[in-house]
């Protein structure tokens, strides 16, 4: 990827990761490494039924096992946290099951011991008697099902748009978002063609190689939580709410994360370890196993019914109905339903739009954010649909898109004007890199070749705040304090580059202090590709503040404007010794206007992310096997701050979505996950990935971003699934509308097309 540096040459340079050496020597700091004096470890006993009332819970055998320190249930938890329910949108999730279980794998009790093997053995001795209740697993069924997951809805007070749901009964709908623009009915009545399709995406999950892990300890001043979390500030605020303590009694520390991808947000194990530590007055650590990640958080399975009106090659109306399978607890699902829901019509210029987006409770593992915050599920549907329309209309899929694309200055479905969103450029570059206008070799014999493209977009989560502190020491060395979590995306390095650019020092010399809520200021969370933009702006402001204060110091000590006196000398002149600091602060919150009753707003997002994918495939029509031979990711990331890291983010995101497209799926049997291990749930390995992977960031600038930059961690995911499905149809004429795109599905579809369907 081309290098485009500016000013001091720090932004736009492929600075090697600041922590690179620690990572290649195995010495990087993770919560995994933490051991505290007199620490107990906890093992969780989990529910075996999808929906049931707990009739009795017998922990006596577990307690009696030698080496067990204590067995804890919700009754114990309530002695330290009387109202033990948490969640970012709804306070619906209990720290341990409270009278009822709502999914298989829900935590019911915890065994504490110094030896994890003993704790595990004891957990297996716990016995529960359930009265099983009717359960619902499918998101569309959950709309009308008699099985109701929660007795009543409990929205958190923080979101005004959820208030009306408080205390609602007999529904599984956690949130319904509606948008109406123009007059879709009229558009459909006047159309030359109307197309309607339904697409489904399956339940998958993050599986960071470092599973969830948290530890807590009591200190003189309160409680310290060491946690692999993407949202230290949220953890602090939510734990202090649960305990009824001031924020400053709760300290949350986060070192590096062994991957996050949206899993490690909000509260996961933190409330549990906090409560356990308060109960036993000893440090407690819980490290989940790989299997337990399947019972903690997944991506939303979704069903999307999309209908379009086309007149003279233009899309004139679009109806979108999306059902999100939120699982047993809302987590951040309601926000996905709305904040991603409003982009459901895609990056197209359509005057008449209606969107109905529903967040549903079901008796499955809770669903939350996963690299794209709902966007990949939407793009999967609208870009498959776009291709199917182009094909039916005998139009070139790129030309059809170009005729309908949402250009800067035009209003998106919400009414918010597009700005700095290089949709057309992404499409152009994709076409060029795919050599679209050249004849394409289709293959001979049973192996057929095809190609496809797709382009999607995403709004940023708004309104959210980031705050940063830049500290210049008396020798001129610089330290940055911020609560952005480096989980592999390279935020430490990028933020150091921003500071370095402003203060004109090498990025490698900037120290970045990791999130520690006693030390680093508030940040909403590291999610949704928001950090480079929001924290980046805060960091830039903090560095500029420090720079202004350094200039003031220079004036104060009589150094003439523009002279090149080293910073250390300024301090020396003022304090007569190596002493003092300059502290710069920066705080950033973008403008935002909440949607009106029709879902419309002039200011829906501070920036747009755009990502497109091109894929070439070979389909073996005798077996249905699909080989993706080429995968091209093109994105608008604004100005690439660190071209090499941008590239790894694009290809990493694309590969993750490639797994969700081709192979990953949580298999269920009556709500029980039957493939909760890497033996059966296969994530992409080095042999699975396409041989030819290319990445490109188009030339662009985000006007409001720090040095023209914006987020990049998710854009590579957007187009992958539909680009491959489009390529498969191009190769062999069959259309799949349900993920993943397995050989079996392709083969079944081929047989169906030949009029010789396979039996189930």
Partner 1 sequence: MRTINFTLNGEQVSAHVAEHQSIVEILRDRFDLFGARESCAQGLCGCCTVLVDGTAVSGCLYLAAFANGKSITTVEGLATNGKLTPIQEAFLEVGASQCGFCTPGFVLMAGQLLEAHPDPDDDDIRHYLSGNLCRCAAYPEIIAAVKLAAGRLKAGTT
Which positions lie near partner 1, rule CB under 8 A? 14, 16-17, 19-28, 30, 32-33, 35, 117, 206-211, 256-261, 289-290, 487-490, 644-645, 648, 651-652, 655-656, 677-679, 683-687, 689, 691, 693
Least distance between ligand FES and beta carbon 488 (Å): 5
- Cβ burial of 151 (10 Å; 0-12, 13-18, 19+) is exposed
Q: Quote the least distance from Cβ 208 to ligand FES, whole Å.
A: 7
Task: Measure CA 697 to chain center.
Answer: 21
**Among ligand FES, partner 1, none, what binds residue 21 when CB lies within 5 to 8 Å by partner kind?**
partner 1
- Using CB distances below 5 to 8 A depending on partner kind, what does residue 256 bind out of ligand FES, partner 1, none? partner 1
**CA atoms of 40 and 60, how far apart (whole Å):** 20
CA distance 321 to 204: 21
CA distance 730 to 715: 24
Residues 263, 297: Cα–Cα separation, whole Å: 6
Residue closer to partner 1, measured from CB, 438 or 679: 679
* 548 is a site residue for ligand FES (CB under 6 A): no
Peptide bond into 740 cis (omega under 30): yes
DSSP letter at 155 equals B
Binders of ligand FES among residues 303 to 362 (CB under 6 A) are none
Q: Which residue has the tokens 């909760």?
A: 676
Report the site for ligand FES in 256-275 (rule: CB under 6 A). 259
Other C-beta atoms lying within 10 Å of the C-beta of residue 135: 21
Q: Closest CB to partner 1 among 93 and 721?
A: 721
Q: What is the DSSP letter of 438?
A: S
Nearer to partner 1, 296 or 337 (CB): 296
Site size toward ligand FES, by CB under 6 A: 3
Residue 632 Cβ, how far from partner 1 at the closest point, in Å? 13
Q: How far is the CB of 689 from partner 1 (least distance, A)?
A: 5
Least spacing, CB of residue 678 vs ligand FES, in Å: 7
Q: Where are the alpha helices (DSSP H) in 1-89?
A: 20-24, 60-64, 74-80
Query: What backbone torsions phi and psi does residue 167 show, to the nearest 5 degrees?
Result: 75, 5
SS3 319: strand
Q: How far is the CB of 292 from partner 1 (least distance, A)?
A: 11
- Contact call for residues 263 and 296 (beta carbons, < 8 A): yes
| 392 belongs to the binding site for ligand FES (CB under 6 A) | no
What is the nearest approach in angstroms of ligand FES to the Cβ of residue 23? 8
Between 464 and 531, CB nearer to ligand FES: 531
Query: Is the separation of the CB atoms in 188 and 203 below 8 Å?
Result: no
Q: Which residues are catalytic?
A: 714
**Residue 209 is a binding residue for ligand FES (CB under 6 A):** yes
Which among partner 1, ligand FES, none contacts residue 32 (Cβ within 5 to 8 A by kind)? Answer: partner 1
645, 649, 651, 654 alpha-carbon torsion, rounded to 10° = -170
> Cβ of residue 652: shortest distance to ligand FES, in angstroms?
8
262 or 345: CB nearest partner 1: 262
Q: What is the DSSP string of 609-658?
A: EEEEEEEEEEEETTT--EEEEEEEEEEE-BS-SSHHHHHHHHHHHHHHHH
Residue of this chain nearest to ligand FES (CB atom) = 209
d(CA 264, CA 230): 5
Nearest CA to 586 among 500, 504, 522, 529? 522
640 vs 684, which CB is nearer to ligand FES? 684
d(CA 255, CA 229) in angstroms, rounded, equals: 9
Cα 652–655–660 angle (5° rounding)? 130
Where does 336-394 have alpha helices with state H? 375-392
Residue 684 partner contact from ligand FES, partner 1, none using kind-dependent CB cut-offs of 5 to 8 Å: partner 1
| 260 vs 586, beta carbon nearer partner 1 | 260
Q: Check binding of 506 to ligand FES (CB under 6 A).
A: no
CB of 713 to partner 1, least distance (A): 10
**Shortest Å distance, C-beta 209 to ligand FES:** 4
Does position 255 interact with ligand FES (CB under 6 A)? The reply is no
DSSP labels, 246-312? -GGGEEEE--B-S--TTTT-S-SSHHHHHHHHHHHSS-EEEE--HHHHTTT-EEPEEEEEEEEEEET
Q: How many CA atoms lie within 13 A of 409 on its CB side?
A: 1
Helix (H, G, I), strand (E, B) or coil at 101: strand
Q: Which two tokens stand for residue 148?
A: 């109701």
CB 259 to ligand FES: min, Å? 5
- Which of ligand FES, partner 1, none binds 397 (CB below 5-8 Å, type-dependent)? none
Using CB distances below 5 to 8 A depending on partner kind, what does residue 319 bind out of partner 1, ligand FES, none?
Answer: none
Residue 126 CB contacts under 8 Å (≥ 6 apart), including other chains? 45, 57, 58, 59, 61, 62, 71, 108, 109, 111
Helices (H) and strands (E) in the chain, counts: 19, 29
**Among all chains, which residue has been given the structure tokens 């990791």?**
514
> How many C-beta atoms surround the C-beta of residue 232 within 10 A?
27
What does the alpha-carbon distance between residue 606 and residue 536 come to, in Å, rounded to a whole number? 13
CB 651, min distance to ligand FES, A? 12
- Asked if 488 is part of the footprint of ligand FES (rule: CB under 6 A), the reply reads yes
Binding of ligand FES at residue 16 (CB under 6 A)?
no
Quickly count: other Cβ atoms within 10 Å of residue 601's Cβ: 18
In the list partner 1, ligand FES, none, the entry touching 25 (Cβ below 5 to 8 angstroms by class) is partner 1
- Closer to partner 1 by Cβ: residue 27 or 55: 27
Q: Closer CB to partner 1, residue 124 or residue 677?
A: 677
Integer CA distances (angstroms), 230 to 7, 484, 524, in order: 32, 8, 10
- Please, which residue, 209 or 753, has the CB nearer to ligand FES? 209
17 is in the binding site of which of partner 1, ligand FES, none (Cβ under 5 to 8 A by kind)?
A: partner 1
Could you give the CA distance from residue 593 to residue 603 in angstroms, rounded to a whole number?
5
Torsion angles phi and psi, residue 72, rounded to 5 = -120, 135
Residue 659 touches ligand FES, criterion: CB under 6 A: no
Q: Is 490 in the site for ligand FES (CB under 6 A)?
A: no
Binding site for ligand FES (CB under 6 A): 209, 259, 488
């Amino acid at each position: 990827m081309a290098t485009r540096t500016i000013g001091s040459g720090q932004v736009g340079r492929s600075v090697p990761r600041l922590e690179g050496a620690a990572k290649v020597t195995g010495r990087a700091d993770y919560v995994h490494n933490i051991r505290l004096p007199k620490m107990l470890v906890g093992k969780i006993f989990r529910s075996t039924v999808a929906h049931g009332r707990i009739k009795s819970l017998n922990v006596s055998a577990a307690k009696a096992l030698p080496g067990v320190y204590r067995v804890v249930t919700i009754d114990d938890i309530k002695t330290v946290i009387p109202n033990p329910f948490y969640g970012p949108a709804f306070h619906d999730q209990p720290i341990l099951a409270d009278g009822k279980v709502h999914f298989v794998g829900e935590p019911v009790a915890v065994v504490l011991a110094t030896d994890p093997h003993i704790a595990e053995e004891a957990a297996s001795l716990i016995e529960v008697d359930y009265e099983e209740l009717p359960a619902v697993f499918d998101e569309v069924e959950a709309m009308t099902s008699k099985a109701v997951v929660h007795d009543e809805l409990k929205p958190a007070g923080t979101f005004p748009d959820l208030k009306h749901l408080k205390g609602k009964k007999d529904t599984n709908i956690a949130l319904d978002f509606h948008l109406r623009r123009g007059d879709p009915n009229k558009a459909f009545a006047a159309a030359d063609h109307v197309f309607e399709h339904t697409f489904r995406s399956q339940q998958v999950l993050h599986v960071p190689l470092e599973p969830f892990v948290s530890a807590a300890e009591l200190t003189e001043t309160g409680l310290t939580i060491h946690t692999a979390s993407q949202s230290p500030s949220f953890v602090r605020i939510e734990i202090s709410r649960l305990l009824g303590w001031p924020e400053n009694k709760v300290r949350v520390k986060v070192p590096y994360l062994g991957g996050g991808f949206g899993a490690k947000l909000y509260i996961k194990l933190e409330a549990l370890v906090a409560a356990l530590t308060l109960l036993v007055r000893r440090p407690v650590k819980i490290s989940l196993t790989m299997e337990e990640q399947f019972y903690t958080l997944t991506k939303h399975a979704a069903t999307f019914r999309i209908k379009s009106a086309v007149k003279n090659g233009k899309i004139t109306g679009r109806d979108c109905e999306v059902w999100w399978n939120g699982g047993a607890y809302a987590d951040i699902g309601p926000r996905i339903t709305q904040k991603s829901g409003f982009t459901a019509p895609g990056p197209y210029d359509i005057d008449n739009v209606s969107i109905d987006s529903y967040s549903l409770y079901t008796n499955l593992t809770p669903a939350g954010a996963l690299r794209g915050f709902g966007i990949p599920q939407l793009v999967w549907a609208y870009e498959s649909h776009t291709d199917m329309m182009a094909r039916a209309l005998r139009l070139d899929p790129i030309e059809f898109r170009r005729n309908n694309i949402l250009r800067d200055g035009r209003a998106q479905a919400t009414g918010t004007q597009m700005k700095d969103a290089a949709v057309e450029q992404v499409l152009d570059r994709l076409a060029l890199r795919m050599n679209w206008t050249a004849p394409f070799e289709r293959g001979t014999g049973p192996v057929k070749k095809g190609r496809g493209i797709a382009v999607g977009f995403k709004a940023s989560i708004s309104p959210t705040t980031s705050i940063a502190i830049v500290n210049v020491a008396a020798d001129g060395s610089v330290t940055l304090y911020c609560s952005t979590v480096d989980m592999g995306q390279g935020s430490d390095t990028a933020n150091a580059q921003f500071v370095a650019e402003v203060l004109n020092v090498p990025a490698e010399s900037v120290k970045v202090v990791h999130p520690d809520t006693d030390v680093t200021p508030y940040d909403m969370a590291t999610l949704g590709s928001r950090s480079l933009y929001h924290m980046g702006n805060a960091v830039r402001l903090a560095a500029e503040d420090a720079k202004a204060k350094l200039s003031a110091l220079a004036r104060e000590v009589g150094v003439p404007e523009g002279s090149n006196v080293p910073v250390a000398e300024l301090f020396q002149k003022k304090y007569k010794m190596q002493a003092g600091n300059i502290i710069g602060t920066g705080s950033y919150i973008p403008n935002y206007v909440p949607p009106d009753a029709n879902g419309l707003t002039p200011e829906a997002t501070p920036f747009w992310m755009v990502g497109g994918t091109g894929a070439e495939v070979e389909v073996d029509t005798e077996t249905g096997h699909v080989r993706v031979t080429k995968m091209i990711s093109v994105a608008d990331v604004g100005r690439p701050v660190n071209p090499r890291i941008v590239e790894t983010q694009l290809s990493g995101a694309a590969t993750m979505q490639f797994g969700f497209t081709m192979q990953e799926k949580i298999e269920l049997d009556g709500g029980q996950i039957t493939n909760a291990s890497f033996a059966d749930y296969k994530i992409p390995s080095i042999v699975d990935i396409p041989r030819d992977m290319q990445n490109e960031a188009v030339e662009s600038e985000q006007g409001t971003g720090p040095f023209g930059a914006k987020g990049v961690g998710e854009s590579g995911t957007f187009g992958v699934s539909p680009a491959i499905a489009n390529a498969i149809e191009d190769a062999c004429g069959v259309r799949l509308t349900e993920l993943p795109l397995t050989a079996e599905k392709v083969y079944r579809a081929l047989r169906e097309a030949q009029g010789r369907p396979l039996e189930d």
